[in-house]
């Protein structure tokens, strides 16, 4: 297990105005995990890896789970398959973007993964550029969806303290 998270918030400021997101890579193949980690890190994002679905769900539901902005998930793993991970994840975190990445790339697999709650489906070997584009697209969709929800609440005068953005522990204590 590799946990290179260095701060307690989900976004990391590199001083250039850009924020890096934390991506959870779930794959039972250690070589594939390292390749994905390297490709994602080169794209300016933080990576947490997990060798299986059970541990991935523990990370998501654990104390640092809110740091994870997206999951990159292998479909076929020995401990818990990607579809089972998706089903369990959607019960506790329905909004976390999930990109399924698998060598089993048939249309049936893609449809099954999307029905289980995947946001995108990539066939291995996917190029680092394709992976980065898919991750960025899913993160943008999530940001836009959150903003649309906030604006709807604002127009209906239903904003609450939960709608304020606060990442630090000090600000969370205020709310």
Tokens 């001083």 locate to 15
Question: What is d(CA 64, CA 133) in angstroms, rounded to the nearest whole number?
Answer: 25
How many residues make up the chain in this entry?
175
Answer whether residue 16 shows pLDDT above 50. no
What's the Rg (C-alpha) of the chain? 17
CA angle 131, 11, 19 (to 5 degrees): 70
Q: Among residues 92, 64, 60, which one has the least CA distance to residue 73?
A: 60
Question: What is d(CA 56, CA 138) in angstroms, rounded to the nearest whole number?
Answer: 19
CB-CB contact of 72 with 102 (8 Å): no
pLDDT at residue number 26: 95
State the pLDDT confidence band at 169, using cuts at 50, 70 and 90.
low
DSSP state of 125: S
pTM for the full predicted model = 0.73
The pLDDT tens digits for 90-126 are 998 888 999 998 887 678 888 888 888 899 999 888 8
The pLDDT tens digits for 133-151 are 899 888 888 777 777 777 7
């Amino acid at each position: 297990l590799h946990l290179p998270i260095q701060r307690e918030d989900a976004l990391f400021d590199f001083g250039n105005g850009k924020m890096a997101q934390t991506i959870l890579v779930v794959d039972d193949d250690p070589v594939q995990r390292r390749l994905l980690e390297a490709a994602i890190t080169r794209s300016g994002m933080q990576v947490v890896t997990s060798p299986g679905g059970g541990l991935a769900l523990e990370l998501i539901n654990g104390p640092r789970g809110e740091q994870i902005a997206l999951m990159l998930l292998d479909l076929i793993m020995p401990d818990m398959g990607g579809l089972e991970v998706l089903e369990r994840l959607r019960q506790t975190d329905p909004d976390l973007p999930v990109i399924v990445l698998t060598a089993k790339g048939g249309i049936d697999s893609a449809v099954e993964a999307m029905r289980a709650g995947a946001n995108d489906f990539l066939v291995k070997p996917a190029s680092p550029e394709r992976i980065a584009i898919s991750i960025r697209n899913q993160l943008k969709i999530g940001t836009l969806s959150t903003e649309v929800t906030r604006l709807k609440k604002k127009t209906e005068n239903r904003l609450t303290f939960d709608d304020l953005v606060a990442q630090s522990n000090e600000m969370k204590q205020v709310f």
